[in-house]
Structure 1
Amino acid sequence: MTRLQGKTALITGAATGIGRAVAERFAQEGARVVIADRDGEAATATAAAIGAGARAAVMDISDESSVAAAFSALAADGWRPDVVVANAGVQLFGHDAPAAELDLDVWRRTIDVNLTGTFLTVKHAVRAMLAAGGGSIILTGSPTGLNGEGRDFTAYSASKAGIHGLARTVAAAYADRGIRVNTVVPAYTETSLVTAISSDPESRAAIIGRIPLGRAGTPDDIAGAMVFLASDDGAFATGATFAVDGGMTTI
């Protein structure tokens, strides 16, 4: 398991959940990993748990100065990333709502982190990769950005739809300079982000009932797909959307 040997990967939102699982799997595959998270203490703990091939970076993806400073510091230390996973995001359960009921502040907070934050991560990843001659960028999408799955989550769904469009545009713009951009779309995946669903048996059963494989996703399910896209095995994949959703998009 050394498909990422010699590569350096930065994963945002990597202190917990899907991001942490991806960082752990990348490290197992031989990569050096940067645990980028706005929670510096949690990022440091995750990096320590992974071991010598990991380091923490405090990064608030909604703040360009924070993103730029993190990328600059990594480059100065010889940790310029070959792979960037733009995974960090928020879902404001109890606040996000159908459009007519949605507070503007909730919309702005969600877009600032999920869409603008992903854009800023991609922007500075592209700059770093242009200097290095190429690389792989992987975005975390959502079925809510593709279909009516998120009808009660207007801001979140819109932010994820924007991410899908961003990935295709950046892939087209930089393919001739060796930069690949793809989106992985998990179905309902049980992490701390979705405690509002996982702690409610009725809500959990309803969403799992729409997954043909009959179970929730796990962070490890997503990590395997991202290893492929980060590795040379995925060298001909760009601008694509990879559903890892237990068949959810087939119904």
Structure 2
Amino acid sequence: MTAARTPFDLSGKLAVVTGARRGIGLAIAEGLAAAGADIVGVSASLEESGSEVGKRVTALGRDFTPLRADFADRAEVARLAATLGELGRPVDILVNNAGTIARAPAAEHPDSDWDHVLAVNLSSQFMLTRDVGRGMLERGRGKIVFTASLLSFQGGINVPGYTAAKSGIAGLTRALANEWAGRGVNVNAIVPGYVATDNTQALRADPVRNAAIVDRIPAGRWATPEDIAGAAVFLASSASDYVHGALLPVDGGWLGR
């Protein structure tokens, strides 16, 4: 007798995860693969073979396809979208996780840092989602998951470009959900709290800032990338079919404080 599929079963689905080489993206790719999805991993520096994410996905018995794209380059984002359209199978799940950060006080923040962060964290996200989403709309189904931030709700310190971009992601999530919910495509966002990744190394290395952050988190610790993966599986699965335009915090209780 065949076991019944759970609402979280992603067997037969194809998921694209950007920023998949490390950190949150790596954990999400592994989590989706564990739920049954084949994975297309995308990163600016993803190895053609032997990547950690590729090893983890294939160890779970799933197919893995590595692709490279510089998300600060619009032409490369357009080429990525075209490549995804030529895979021979449709993209069922798109996880927009690629991102970068630049730290400098607002009064000293260079235009180049602002432009780069907005290009990677917001403009490229819209371009890729628009192009991949078009195919989902034609088929009448699809799941799109953005990686937002606590700074989608708060101002942060010394990261004006990052805050602006992540606030934009919150608005983009709602805007696309308004247009696409009635056409079978779910658009939602995960709101990670403070996660122990390369992007937050400077904060964790600062004893004053680190202590202030941990003291503010009801759970009493930084998140691990794996803490984020379960939310991604939920938003990528049929369990979230009636969830549209949501910003799902995975923050150890930070926003509830």
**CA gap 1:104/1:38 in 2 versus in 1, 3 angstroms:** same
Alignment match of 1:61 (pick from 71, 74, 77): 71
CA RMSD across the alignment: 1.8
Alignment match of 1:143 (pick from 150, 162, 165): 150
Distance 1:49 1:6 in 2: 18
3-state DSSP class of the match of 1:41? coil
TM-score of the two chains, using structure 1 as the length reference: 0.92
3-state DSSP class of the match of 2:70? coil
Map 1:9-48; keep pairs closer than 5 Å.
Answer: 9-41=15-47, 45=51, 46-48=53-55
Map 1:98-117; keep pairs closer than 5 Å.
Answer: 98=106, 100-117=107-124
Percentage identity across paired residues of the two chains? 38
Matched, 1:182 2:188: yes
Distance 2:199 2:250 in 1: 18
Alignment match of 1:227 (pick from 233, 239, 246): 233
1:44 Cα offset (Å): 5.6
Q: Quick one: which amino acid aligns to residue 105 of structure 2?
A: A
Gaps of 5+ in 1: none
What does residue 87 of structure 2 align with? 77
3-state DSSP class of the match of 1:27? helix
Matched, 1:129 2:127: no
Distance 1:208 1:187 in 2: 11
Distance 1:43 1:69 in 2: 21
Matched, 1:6 2:16: no
Aligned residue pair count: 247
What does residue 206 of structure 1 align with? 212
Gaps of 5+ in 2: 1-5
TM-score of the two chains, using structure 2 as the length reference: 0.90
Distance 2:87 2:127 in 1: 21
Matched, 1:241 2:251: no
Distance 1:164 1:216 in 2: 22
Q: Larger deviation: 57-66 or 81-90?
A: 57-66
Q: Larger deviation: 115-124 or 67-76?
A: 67-76
Distance 2:87 2:112 in 1: 38
Distance 2:188 2:14 in 1: 18
Matched-pair contact (CA < 8 Å) for 2:15–2:95: yes
Q: Quick one: which amino acid aligns to residue 239 of structure 1?
A: G
What does residue 3 of structure 2 align with? none
Distance 2:110 2:81 in 1: 34
Residues 112-155 of structure 1 show CA distances to partners (whole Å, capped at 9, x for unaligned) of 1111121122112212312332201000111112023x132111
Matched, 1:91 2:101: yes
3-state DSSP class of the match of 1:5? coil
Q: Quick one: which amino acid aligns to residue 157 of structure 2?
A: R
Matched-pair contact (CA < 8 Å) for 1:14–1:43: no
